[in-house]
Structure 1
Amino acid sequence: MFSKWKDTLVLRVVASIIIYSFVLTLGATVFFYQNTYSREINRQTSRIDQLALTVENSAAIAAYLSNRELALEVLNGLVKNDIVDVAIITGEQGFEESIHQHDTAATAPPIHYELPSPFMQGELAGRLSITPNQQLIENSARNAAALHALILLAYAITIISLVASLIHSLLTKPLTNMKNAVMAAKPGYDKELTYIPQNPNNEIGQLVQNSNELLTSIHDTLQREKQLSRKIVSVERRYRLLFEQSGVGIALITQAGRIDLCNSTFAKFTARCDTRDRDDTTSITFAEMFVKQQEMTETLRSVSAGNKIISGDFKFRGHDQSQQHWFHCLFSLAMETNGQPLIEVVMYDISERAMREKQYRFEAEYDSLTMLYNRRATERRISAALDDAKTQGRQCALIVIDLDHFKPVNDKYGHDAGDIVLIESAKRLRESVRRGDIVCRWGGDEFLIVLRQGREDLKVEPAARAILDALTQPIDIGRSRSVSIGASLGVACTPEHGIEKSELLKKADDAMYLIKQNGRNGYCVSGQQPHYIER
């Protein structure tokens, strides 16, 4: 019962008024308290100044004449005031007389007043020092400030109560009656709200009139909804028969690229779409469900513009990045009954076929042991690199690499150790060159690298030395054993040594064999002297 009452408008309005008013009153009370306190302190200080001014002449005469009786009379007159704790008259000739109202030490600093000479203009007769009774002054200031604060608080409480009562009487109570009348009304019936007494023409009366108009509109809308619902049931039955029995995904896409209608198979497909970076999953377009969003957008635009059937294979953007989902999509233009064009899409899940094709391509182009390009794939890439170098007027280098002392490793430690050496050598080769360069396993223990010129001139010899440095480092083959191998490198560059692939491969191979036959573990650029690396 209380939980129902605490959510009512009356309680919330009254509570809000009380809370806000209490905060404001509290702030105003603190402000006026501080203000009254400060004014009272200042008033008492001014009283002391007036007292000093009153006795100034008498005190000056007493100080000038060193008259103790007159000084005591002046001081007694000062300390009779409760606000004065200590009064002292000092003369220029060493005269001093004081009176203490209390035996305890003063808690406030004294206030000093210069005493001008009563007989000699421009000279000083002495000084009057008055120490105020700070505790009495502060207590008086606090009492005055507290009294003002209490008066203000009582006044504020009275005003708050009056305002809350008026708001309840003029606003919240009529609104509560209005709410009860609205809740009692049943949409769909010819029943209107009655005007609240004394409020036929004000804002609440207008609210009643508008509510009646809204109820009438709701009644009419419900009647139309009933008619539409019968039509929707009929349409849904036909669409369900058309879509739900299909084993492929079928959907209608609007010109804006959004899904207008789809069958359950299509919904299952698209349920795998990764929408974690979106606040509203309904806002995603059809094209955004695919990795190549721009390509899909262009395809939909072509279908709309050309009124033709287009098909293609597209990669889906799924939650699980380890699994790839591919769909073969068939697009055609369809027209709605109102003349609005829609795009019909039929989707076939070809993920398994795409994965098999990808695996076949990988096996056809990569070496299964080192994961480098194999010889067949590299030959195509060499041709493409040489064509690019020729077109752009840049250099390109072919480095043929033959591992030294690899056969003894195989013979002594077995083929498993040899495989470890090949895998580690391939890794070091990849790390020794740039990302745009091509590294492949040419065959057996031979590798080939294609260096491409970047923004700067191609530096072949530093690259060859880096490769040799990497390959000559010991290789761990397991069981606390390591082996050291070397490599013989042959280098041929275009256009210096030719522009044809076969010519460059032969010159690089000949340069490599020159190193192999004369000491190994070095590199030789075709037509130049070989360089050997000491191990």
Structure 2
Amino acid sequence: MRQLIRNNIAIRSSLALLGVSLVIGIFFSLASYVYFFDDEQKHTISTMQDLLNSAENTASIACYLSDKNLANEVVNGISKNNVVSKVTIHSGKTMLAVSQKTSIPTSFELPFAFKHYPDFISREIFSPFNPREKVCTVNMEINQATVNKNSTDKALFIVELLLFQNLLIASVLSLIVFVFFTRPIKIISDRLHALSPQKGELLKHPENNKENELGRLVNDVNQIIADLVSSLDEEKNLRLQHALEERKFQTFFENAETGIFKMNCKGELLSYNQALTRMLNIATDDGAPSAALLELISGQELRLHLMIDAALNESRVVSEDFCIEPGRLKEKKWINIVLHAAENDLLQGLINDITERKYKEEAAQQLAITDHLTGLNNRLGLERKLAHLMKENAHGHPSPFFLLLIDLDKFKEVNDTYGHKAGDMVLIYFSNVLTSILRKTDFIARLGGDEFVVLLCDMSDQEKAIEIAGKIITEACRPIDIGHGISASTGASIGINYASGDSFSADKLLAETDLAMYEAKQSGRSAYAIARYETSPDQPQSI
């Protein structure tokens, strides 16, 4: 029963209305009972007073004449009222008349302890001829039990009417609430309980409630159902799309030729695909953090950590090229690492093998700085070499060297006499001479035409530089076979300059050496001259 009351709003609302009506009815019924009981008591006393007033004149005459018969008529008349139990008329100590009912109603006990009401009324009777002369006294006893019973009966009747009225009103209100509110709500609840919103089912409007608040409630519920169905369909489509994308990504992740990985802020690999495993020749991903990448780029870890900081703190994609030294790998490789920030201080990235591209770039750079005829460095190669040496000196890593500027003598005559092909053969021959005489650590460049430059690296001994210059001149003076039994004769004029460990200017160094070479040519060719410089090598010599 409790469960039924708890789960049924119609029963709960009806019981609530009846309970409230009953409480209110009881309260007002009690108030009405007290009021009407008190009013009936007052009315009874007032009636007794009126009864005495009507018999007062007759009693006055009877007492004045001492007429007992008339006095008996007075008391008998008063005794006819059912609330009077005894009436007496006294004239002094003489009893003129008395009337007492023999059958007294059974005493009636009040249900409540009300205030006390008088049960005895006394009236002094004066002479009909002298209003100041007292002739007798009329005493009247009230049957209080009868009065209480009459008062209670009347009050209870009123209470019963009030209670009935409240119950009737409560019942009608309960019926109204049931018909107009709880019943439609229950219908909506039952339909909603049996509804399958995922199938797109909608609520039907309760009868005669389409345009009111309940109808609007049903419309709102139907709108929510429609939105829910739309959201479910959209979510279903998104899940399917997500599953497809996830499968595509997994396929891409597993079969891509690009290395894909996830990394923590320490540079440790957390997960990676098979392509990265093959590319770096590392162990298959077992789920544990791996320092394999850090080991492979040993000595370059700072660059990787700078990339990680930039990706996490600046929220941007960073990319760097790294050279992986031989170790676990069979050969030297170049890789490009791309990093971008993910969630929880983690990073995602890509690794591509750019070894072939790097080799092509190096080949292109080498081609850009190589003389296509002799295979030596060209003017651009010389400029880069001097710039590198200047940078090393500026950073506190001095590397002293001698610069030899060489110009072939009689080369123009060879070209003019035997043609450019013969001239090319002479240039090739002389480049081979330089390569055979100089060390592998030395630098050789052809600046164009018949002009060559040699850098004797890490050398500060001027005598040694002069000795090398002498060998070059000797070899340059030997006859050169240019075919068909023809030999070409050339020579070499050399300017020698020295660059110490201090900073230097490449343009100034070349200009000074060029002047020295010009002096060598002016001295009769196939000779060398030393440039004038302020800082001399270990064994200074001037021309």
* TM-score using structure 2 length: 0.41
* TM-score using structure 1 length: 0.42
